[in-house]
Amino acid sequence: MRRGRLSLRARWRSFARDRAGNIAQMFAFALVPLLATTGIVVDYSRVSAIRSKLDSAADSAVLAAVSLNAKPFVAASMPTEASVRQLFDAFSSSIQGVTITDFHASIVSGVATMTVTASYAATVRTAVAGMIGVTSVAIAGTATSKAKTPYVDFYLLLDNSPSMGLAATPADISALQAKTPDNCAFACHQHTYDKKNKITGDDTSDYYHVARNNNVTLRIDVLRTATQALTQTATNAAIIASQFRMGVYEFSDTLATIAAPNADLAAVGTAANAIDLAYSYQDQRDSQTSYDVALPGINAIMTDPGDGTSAATAAKFLFVVTDGVQDEPVSNLPSPKPSGNVNSNRLINTLNPALCQTIKSRGITIAVLNTPYYPVTNNAFYNQWVAPLSSSIPTKLQSCASQGFYFEITPTKGISEAMQAMFQAAVNSVLLTN
């Protein structure tokens, strides 16, 4: 018995002296805090990711709240705390492991602005830290969205060059081609001249009149009615005096004023009756689309933009409606002058986005509506000079537009619908302030 006890003591002394045993003990003692630390790191990363998602949901909710209605400052269409919470829930519904413990939204509306602020509090269940008694972590966040620029000046720069004499739809193209001896889809507008080459009147036998006499709608006709509809939309959307002013300009190789910026939108709509196709020149050279004239010209007309808090400090939007093909005399170009491609003095190319950047750098927002050519493949001139540019035109026009303000006609969205979308995008411009 004694021998057995001595043997046990010897064994214990041997274990105490064994380094391997000490390491095992030390590892066992250290394992618990090591696991706890690892769990905290894992849970911290998870909580941070969930908080980021909830912040994004709050941002999206307040942004949507001020963007959903075209008249964000009208009491009848104001968001409510319940509607903002509904938006927040929709944006955060896919986030797992979180419980929203509190939500509050405030809506502050004045004559010129509306601000929506949302605050949330939540708890996130921990995955590993519960082993040290931390079963959840509390988080919170706030987001604010403010509707701005209630006072806006709109400048409409409309392409009325001969290319806008293209029949408006495939059906109109077919109708015009059927009535022209050379199957032309363009309604050229021409003067008559005397022997001294002085204008004597309209050439009533030109294709413009053929289109008129056969009820063929041209793109310039659609542009005219779309502009008039836009003035009515702006009238209906305005909720304070002189909130919107609108000026209308048309360009070919020159820039012409249809209506100077005016808060009397009905008068602007009446003036828009004058929007019409530019006359072709007597020599029929057709080099009558110059962005090098139009964009610097309208830039000189537009006054500096403000913050939109008053009519005197109105924000500025330039709407450019064009097919994106520049066709101009080389003699009109700034030096050093490039060479022509059709002939020595005629150049067909695309818009230079640098002209737009000069305007945007002033703080003026440019919205561009691309009215692309229908492929007139039976027209040799189109095939040689326009078709090769077709793939680059949208890229150049999109570079001209401010971020989010490029629009394009589609089979389901014509000129009028696209111009309405441009207007809505402008008046609903918002700034996410937090």
Average pLDDT, consecutive stretches of 10 residues, N- to C-terminus, the chain (434 residues) = 52 52 52 56 82 94 74 60 94 92 88 82 81 80 80 95 88 93 88 88 93 94 95 87 94 95 96 94 73 96 90 93 89 80 88 96 96 79 88 95 92 84 79 47
**Separation CA 40–CA 57 (nearest Å):** 25
What's the CA gap between 97 and 94, in Å, rounded?
10
Determine the Cα–Cα distance for residues 22 and 28; give it in Å rounded to an integer: 10
| pLDDT of 151 | 86
3-class DSSP assignment, residue 328: strand
> Is 28 exposed, middle or buried (CB count within 10 Å of its CB: 0-12, 13-18, 19+)?
exposed
The confidence score (pLDDT) of residue 432 equals 47
Q: How far is CA 100 from CA 52, 88, 123, 179, 285, in A?
A: 14, 11, 7, 69, 69
Contacts with 7 (C-beta within 8 Å, 6 or more apart), sequence order? none
**What local confidence, expressed as pLDDT, does residue 85 receive?**
95
With 0-12 CB in 10 A as exposed, 13-18 as middle and 19+ as buried, what is 63?
buried
Q: Check residue 207 and give its pLDDT.
A: 94
Of 188, 233, 283, 306, nearest to 71 by C-alpha is 233
CA atoms of 21 and 195, how far apart (whole Å): 118
- Distance (Å, whole) CA 127 – CA 381: 70
CA distances from 6 to 3, 9, 10, 12, 17 (A): 5, 5, 6, 10, 17
Domains annotated on the chain, with CATH = 22-147 (no CATH), 152-166+218-432 (3.40.50.410)
What distance lies between CA 228 and its chain's CA centroid?
22
Tokens of 238: 């305005």
φ and ψ of 266, to 5 deg: -65, -40
Measured CA to CA, the distance from residue 424 to residue 418 in angstroms comes to 10
Show Cβ contacts of residue 236 under 8 Å, excluding neighbours closer than 6 positions. Answer: none
Q: Rounded distance, CA 261 to CA 249, Å?
A: 10
| DSSP one-letter code for 382 | I
Using the 8-state DSSP alphabet, how is residue 254 labeled? S
pLDDT on residue 4? 46
> What does the pLDDT read at residue 24?
53
**Residue-by-residue DSSP string for 124-156:** EE-SSGGGGT--EEEEEEEEEEEE---SEEEEE
In terms of Cα–Cα distance, which of 152, 144, 84 is closest to 114? 144
d(CA 118, CA 105): 4
**What are the DSSP E strand ranges found in 148-274?**
152-159, 191-193, 199-202, 244-251, 255-262
Instruction: Evaluate if pTM is beyond 0.85.
Output: no
